[in-house]
Every structure is written in C-alpha cells, then in structure tokens.
Amino acid sequence: MTERQLLVGPFNRVEGDLEIKLDIRDGQVAAAHVNSPLFRGFEMMLQGKDPRDALTLTPRICGICSVSQSAAAALALADAAGTQMPEQGALAAAILHGVENLADHVTHFNLFFMPDFARPAYAGRAWHDQAVARFTALDGSAARQTAEARSQLFHIAGLLGGKWPHTLAIQPGGVTRTPDARMRIRIRATLRGFRRYLEETLFGTELESFLPLATPDALEAWDTGDAALFLRIARDLGLHQSGIGPRRYLSYGAYPVAGTRAMAAGVWEGGSVTPFNPADIVEDLSHAWMLGEDAHPQSGQTVPDEDMRDPGYSWCKAPRLGGRIAEVGALARQIVDGHPLARALADEGSVRARIVGRLLEIARTQVLLEQWADALDPSARFMTPSETIKTGTGVGLVEAARGSLGHWLRVEGGRIAGYQIIAPTTWNFSPRDRDGNPGPLEAALVGAVAGPEEDTPLSVQHIVRSFDPCMVCTVH
Amino acid sequence: MIRQKGMEETALSQIETFYDVMRRQGITRRSFMKYCSLTAAALGLGPSFVPKIAHAMETKPRTPVIWVHGLECTCCSESFIRSAHPLAKDVVLSMISLDYDDTLMAAAGHQAEAALEDTIKKYKGNYILAVEGNPPLNEDGMFCIVGGKPFVEQLRHAAKDAKAIISWGACASYGCVQAAKPNPTRATPVHKVITDKPIIKVPGCPPIAEVMTGVITYMLTFDRLPELDRQGRPAMFYGQRIHDKCYRRPHFDAGQFVEAWDDENARKGYCLYKMGCKGPTTYNACSTVRWNEGTSFPIQSGHGCIGCSEDGFWDQGSFYNRVTDLTQFGVEKNADQVGLAAAGVVGGGIALHAAVSALKSAQKKTQTSVSKEEA
C-alpha cells in the first residue's frame, strides 16, 4: 500500500481561488479537504447600511453571476416589504437573469471545462486532435466563437440593464427599464443569433432535437456538434463513473414568472421529489474558520476566526439541509424539475451527468428566453412602488447558473442588522460538518485516480470543474 | 496560456511582433487596418496616427503581460473578454498573450506557478503587470492565499521586475466594495503596496471593455504610458464626467426629473438625479463609449450612475441618496428648486440656462498631467 498527500491548487479556469488537500492511497483519492482561501467579508460590510444598498453591493460579490446576486437581493427586499413585481417586471428580470445563466453555462463548457481534454497528457487518444483544434485554452476555435457569441448575447443585458457585469436594473418592485417595441425586436433578433451559434457549434443541429432525449441510450446515440465530442470523450475516459456526488439534489426553483417558478423547487433523493423547506437549512461552522454557533441563515452571523484554528480548514461555512449535504446546479435543477434524461442520470451523479445537465439547461433556457421575449408587453407596468422598510426580515431565493443562491435579510431601525448569503458553491464545496460528513465535492473526489507522476491529477480537475465552481461567491 | 514556442526563446528581439501574432490568429490585413483606425479613434488620435499604429504593430515585439488576481470578483476579466469590436478582443488577447493569467490559462497547480516564474525571469524588466483585485493586509494577508502564500507576496514578487503596472478596476485602484467599512480584511489598493513603479489606474466596477483595450493598445503601440490625470487615471477616458456627455443632460438643465421608478417621467427618459444618480460627480466614459459594445449604460437603463469609478464610492451613504452637495460645481439650488424655477416662468428658465452655461465652464477639471515616460 502506498500513501501520499497532495496539496492541489491554485486551480485555473475556475472562478476564484481554490485549494484541495488530497489523501492518496494506492493511486486513488481516499479523502479530500476543500479550502476556499479567499475571504472578503461582505456580510460584515452590509451591517448598518441602507437596505437598498444590498442591490449594489451584493452583485459585486461576483463578476460572473452578478445578476443572480442582484435578483436574490431584490427578492429579499421585496419579501421584507411585502412587494410583488408586476408580471412584466418579473419577465424582464427573468430575461436578464436567464441571459446571464445561459452565458455562464456556455462559458463553462467552452472555456473552463473542455480545454482540459486538449492537454498533451491525452495525446494519442482518438479524439485528441479534435479537442486540441477546438478547445485549446485561449487559442481553440471554440474559445473565439464563444467569446463572440457571448458578447452578442450580452447586448440583451445591456438593453435591459444598462451594463453587464454588475447590472443595476433589478429592483424589489420590478425593473428600472421599460422595454419599448424597438428593444423587444432587438432582443428577439439577438436571441435568434445566439440560437444559431448554439445550433452550429454545441448541438450541431436544432435544439428541439436535443431537448426530448429521454434515456442514456438516446444520449449515447447523439452524434452532432461539440456535445457529441464531449460524449465521445466521456465514454473513452469513463466520465460517467467519475466524480459521483451525494445523489441528493436541491433546487430553490428558477425564474419567478407568472406567479410560479419556470423551473420547480424541491429536493430529489432516492427516486422522488419532496418539497423544499427553507427552514431546514443550517450552516455548520465546525470546520470553517468562523466563530459562533451553527445557525439558520436568518439568524446566522459571520465572525471570521482570524487565528484560523483547527479543526477549521476553510473560510466556507457548511450549509446542510435537514442535517445532510445536497448537490446544487443545473443537473439538480433539471432533475427536480422533471426532465426525463436528467432524472435517468440522477443516480449516475457523475462528471458526465453534470455536463449533460448543463447542456439540457442551455437548450431549455434558450427556448424560455425566446418565449419570454415574445411575451414582453411594452405598454404594461414594469415596476410597482416598494416601501423602504424600517423593521422586518426577508428572504430571496433564486437559482444562479451554478445552483441555489439565497439571501437572508434582517432590517432594524431602517438599517441592515443581519445579512447572510449562501451561494451555490457554498453548498457544493462546503467543508466537513460536525458529524464529519464531507461536502459534496469532497465526497465526489473519493476514488478519483491519481497517477504516481501526477501532482495535479487530471481526474481531480475534471471532477472539480464539472461542478463549475464559483469560489468568489462561495465565501464572500 | 503559455505559448510553448515562446518559452523556448530567450532574447526579446526574437519575440514575434503583434502583427505576426495576429496573422497567426488568422486576422486579415483588412481587419488589421480597420482595427488600427478604430483604435486611433478610440484614443482620440487623428487619422494620421493610423499608419503609426500599424507600423508599430508590425515591427514591435509583442509586450508580455502578467495578469494576476487578488481579492476581487473577476468582473474586470469578464468585461475585458467581451470588448466591443470583436477584433479588438482578438488582437489584444493575442497581443498581450497573457503569459500568465489564472482565470483563462491552461495550466494548473505547480505548473501554473512555474509559468509565472518563467515569465518573470524571461521578460525581466519588460513585462506589464496587470492586477485585478487587491491584497488584503490583515492577518498577514491570510484572507487571500494563492499557491499557499498570501497574494500580497505574489504581487510584490511580480511587481519587482515589471516595467509598469496596470491597476484594473476599482479594487486595484481604490479598494472597492471589499474595502467598505469596516473593511474586514484590510483590502488595500495596489499603489499603497507597490510604491516604486509607474501605476496606471483604470477604475470602474468593472472598467468599460473598450477603455481597457484602449489603454493597453496605447501602451503597446507607443511603448509609453498614456497621459494620466492627477489621480493616475488615463486622461483620455477619465477626463469628463458622466454628466457632461449624458444624453439626459437636457432634462437636468430643464429641471425635469424622475420622481419614482417607472413613473411617467421615467418613461419620458427624464434626468435620474433625484433617484440618486452620481453622474454629476463621476469621471468616466460611460456616457460616450457606453457598455456591451456601445449598447447602453446604466442611466440609459433608467437607473442612476453609482459612481463606481470614483474613489470611495462604496462608502458615500446610500447609493440611492441624491448627491446633496453640488456646490463645488457652482450649483446654488437643489434639484427641487431648479425644477420649480424651470416650471415656473420662462424668464426663470432662460436665467437658469445662463447659469448652467457659466457653471459648465467652471466644471472643467484642471488636469494636472502627470504623464510618466518610462525609462
């Protein structure tokens, strides 16, 4: 038996900083400890501020999912004030948010995840030349097309939100920009362009033929576009057996439009969905460099332990649902919402499943955006007045590209008295809890292959990136 | 990423020119010339500069750039990679080569650290260090750890042999939101840590993509820093207030203001000053260059400017409080009084116009040019 320890990091092509300690036994990961080494203290800065300032400050947690943060802050303020966005305002907010999520997924696939397969270590594999031409970091043909298509797509964020990143338009009562007929035409034209990009590159044919795929066999038979290249690589490298997560999935429900959520909320485990109850969330601090008691985020605090004492090993708190871990993200959303292929892959819970979950969501989000743009009615109201509250609490739950994002707000005397944020990667990359249970990534890494020559094992990188981590959101 | 070809070379003279790199990227001569004229225009230079830019790019070796990330949110990178003209992004990306960039590069772990070391050694004294984010100094820098060491160490190390430093965004330039009270990590802008190198501040949260590519193109083309204002910002982009070129400015002058979100006045596109717009005190190019390939900017989306390119914008009271003190610009009435006057009598309106024009000339900021030529 050979044993060694590896400290892996920094990771590139993940958003922010990440360090992982691996215990390796006989060429396989036996245990993983995930550390989020970047802490800024947003929850502390928000204390004492005008509650509306959360709309400007919290998006700056992250330059990649800033609209998600802004949507969560707006919902938390609206909840506290008892405000409801008018239907059209909610629609415009959903379009802004959907554009960001869609762009994030496409970026992840093309710029963050696939470039790993262009590495020299895979030279000689039948698919390697194709992967190199297409996905070499910065230079591959896909990188160029993606950057271009994304820029175009973000015109919509420009039109509705003035600028991206750090868009300001979403408010508790709706959106500040009332689209006019001309803008609606431009949004629809931009979406048509993005559909063309997706159909020419990622799917190789129309989205409508990818969307109904219902079984792993049908998926395996898919033979067009970059999706087919990925599936071929996944088959060859066994990515359907790698990085198995907790197989318990959580979604807060995405896009509040027309009085409901366009993608359903819930918890999936063992083949069925149960309702999600926000009261079941507790942030465990046992292995975080944080002082204080484990708490529900409504009453939680953020007090960093500047001595960074053991057994803490991360700035990340460990959120648990009903005392146990849950995976969040596109795969979780599609499973909970009931897409047949996603559900068929729920038990697989692998690197491949996560990527396929994202591909499904790319296609679905594109279609949703088109429907929402068609439904925009420039003559309607896009904002209702929202009172500034003096005292109260509110919660804003949204789905960011990477999974469930929640803001919990407490206002006293017209000032923020408490603000807690649980980001998607806080769930996925959380450290151990009081019972010693590892977080979802820590669990998924167990069993990963680490060759004797590897100091940053490739399999570990595939698994880490399959979650599309956002480390700047994780600890904020 | 690391260009393996580049890594084997040793002397600077052997490095490809920008034009070589661009040709390798499949950029046509025609597109190249178009890029040169767009760049000249963006930099406020006349058409006579187009051949100069072209010549420089054809003959000069590309400048190596090391791009590092401290406490930040990556919004600067996000902005940068979708700069306006698709070619600008291609050209600049290939030009600066990002010899070390930890968001986009291929390598990871020790390999990435080694790439950074190689770049520093190989281009000693010749590379530009682009810093996104800032170092937190509390607890010996333990709030931002890169490769097992505090980011501030990486920053000092990489700065030591840099030719010049670009502070991207509000974080690197001023501290930005993570420096908001009580600044839990003591997030500190770059110029307070590195004091012996020329530093160009390109503030904004994030900066506009075209401003970023414009600054870098200028430096690569002319091999010197652009003219800086007294705060160290490139004067060509930060010389005017948002307010000066705001398309809603006539409504400000006429005393027509939005009073509540989505009210009739909002739909008419009136001035957002009463909704907390910081345009009158913010120096940036948003109202001229605009965002997302010239699509729009915050005021155009009906939300006031929050002043994200100004020092301390995060701690100036609520973002939705109106700028109360405009007296520094010679305005003696508040917006309500101005509105009343304008609505009241025609004569009042004319007098006001005169006052506004006088105020305009008073607004011109005295630019102390501290352009630093590199040795």
Read off the pLDDT of residues A393-427 as tens digits, 9 standing for 90 and up.
999 999 999 999 999 999 999 999 999 999 999 99
Mean pLDDT of chain A: 94
How high is the pLDDT of residue B349? 34
Q: Which two tokens stand for residue B325?
A: 């003190």
Helix (H) or strand (E) holding B24, with range, is: helix B18-24
Does residue B292 belong to the interface with chain A, where contact is any CB pair within 8 Å?
yes
Choose from B211, B295, B300 for mutation: most chain A CBs within 10 A. B295
Count of C-beta atoms within a 10 Å radius of residue A299: 12
Contact A37 B106 (CB under 8 A): no
> Torsion-angle region of residue A422: left (phi > 0), alpha (psi -120 to 50) or beta?
beta
| Per-residue model confidence as pLDDT tens for chain B (375 residues) | 333 333 333 344 456 777 777 777 667 788 778 778 877 777 777 788 888 888 887 887 777 778 888 888 878 877 876 654 555 555 555 545 444 555 555 455 566 677 788 888 888 998 889 898 899 999 888 888 777 788 899 899 999 999 999 999 999 999 998 899 899 999 999 999 999 999 999 999 999 988 887 887 788 777 788 899 989 999 989 999 999 999 999 999 999 999 988 889 998 999 999 999 999 999 999 998 888 878 899 999 999 999 999 999 998 888 888 776 554 333 434 455 444 433 333 333 333 333 333 333 333 333 333 333 333
* Distance to chain A for B260, nearest Cα, Å: 8
Give the pLDDT score at B4. 33
Q: How far does A59 lie from chain B, in Å, by closest CA? A: 9
Residues B104, A12: C-beta atoms closer than 8 Å: yes
Distance from C-alpha of A447 to C-alpha of B172, rounded to nearest angstrom: 41
Q: Which residues of B touch A56 (CB under 8 A)?
A: 306, 319
Contacts with A, B 69-128, CB within 8 Å? 69, 71-79, 81-83, 86, 89-90, 93, 98, 102-113
Closest partner residue to B297 among A12, A150, A163, by Cβ?
A: A163
Distance CA B98, CA A138 (A): 10
Phi, psi of B144 (to 5 degrees): -145, 100
Say if CB B136 and CB B71 are below 8 A apart. Answer: yes
Strand A403-412, strand A392-400: pairing: antiparallel
B242-363 has CATH 4.10.480.10 classification: yes
The minimum CA-CA distance between A315 and chain B, rounded to whole Å, is 9
Residue B89: its pLDDT value, please? 54
The reply to whether domains B4-238 and B242-363 share a CATH topology is no
**In chain A, what are the domains?**
3-474 (1.10.645.10)
CA closest to A11 among chain B residues: B108
Q: Which of A155, A177, A315 sits opposite B302 (nearest CB)?
A: A177
pLDDT of residue B108: 55
**Closest Cα in chain A, distance from residue B9 (Å):** 20
Question: Tell me: the pLDDT tens digits for A312-329?
Answer: 999 999 999 999 999 999
Residue A309 phi, psi (nearest 5): -80, 155
Q: Per CATH, which fold does B4-238 belong to?
A: Rossmann fold (3.40.50)
Asked if B259 is an interface residue toward chain A (Cβ–Cβ < 8 A), one would say no
**Cβ-Cβ contacts under 8 Å, A44 against chain B:** 182, 184
Looking at beta carbons, which residues of chain A come within 8 Å of B185? Answer: 39-41
Q: Do B107 and A12 touch (CB under 8 A)?
A: yes
Between A and B, how many residue pairs show a Cβ–Cβ distance under 8 A?
Answer: 238
**Any A CB within 8 A of B296 CB:** yes
For residue A476, pLDDT beyond 50? yes
Tell me the shortest Cα–Cα distance from B284 to chain A, in angstroms: 14
Residues of chain A with Cβ-Cβ distance to B104 below 8 Å are 12-13, 111, 137-138
Confidence (pLDDT) at B15: 65
Q: How far apart are CA A447 and CA A34, in angstroms?
A: 15
Distance from CA of A70 to the nearest CA of B (A): 14
Structure confidence at residue B344 (pLDDT): 35
Binding residues of A for Fe cation, by number, are 65, 473
Cα–Cα distances in Å, from A277 out to A71, A119, A254, A285, A318?
20, 44, 15, 21, 18
Domain boundaries in chain B? 4-238, 242-363
Q: How far is B212 from chain A (nearest CA, A)?
A: 15
Could B291 and A162 be called an inter-chain contact, meaning their C-beta atoms sit closer than 8 Å?
A: yes
* Cβ–Cβ below 8 Å for A138 and B205: no
Q: Which of A2-6, A293-297, A385-389, B370-374 has the highest mean pLDDT?
A: A293-297
Give the single-character DSSP code of A438: P
Sign of CA dihedral A56, A62, A66, A68: negative
CB contact under 8 A, A119 and B82: no
DSSP tag of B228: B
Q: Which tokens hold the place of A411?
A: 């206002």
Among chain A residues, the shortest Cα distance to B188 is held by A40
| pLDDT at residue B371 in the model | 36
Average pLDDT over residues A204-223: 97
Q: Would you call A45 and B181 a contact, using CB atoms and an 8 Å cutoff? A: yes
Q: Is the ipTM of this complex over 0.85?
A: no
Closest residue to A155, CB basis, from B266, B292, B299: B292
pLDDT of residue B94: 52
pLDDT tens track for A109-152: 998 899 999 999 999 999 999 999 999 876 788 987 888 898 89
| Closest chain A residue to B187, measured at CA | A40
Q: Residue B12: what pLDDT?
A: 45
Residue A271: pLDDT above 70? yes
Q: Do A60 and B73 touch (CB under 8 A)?
A: yes
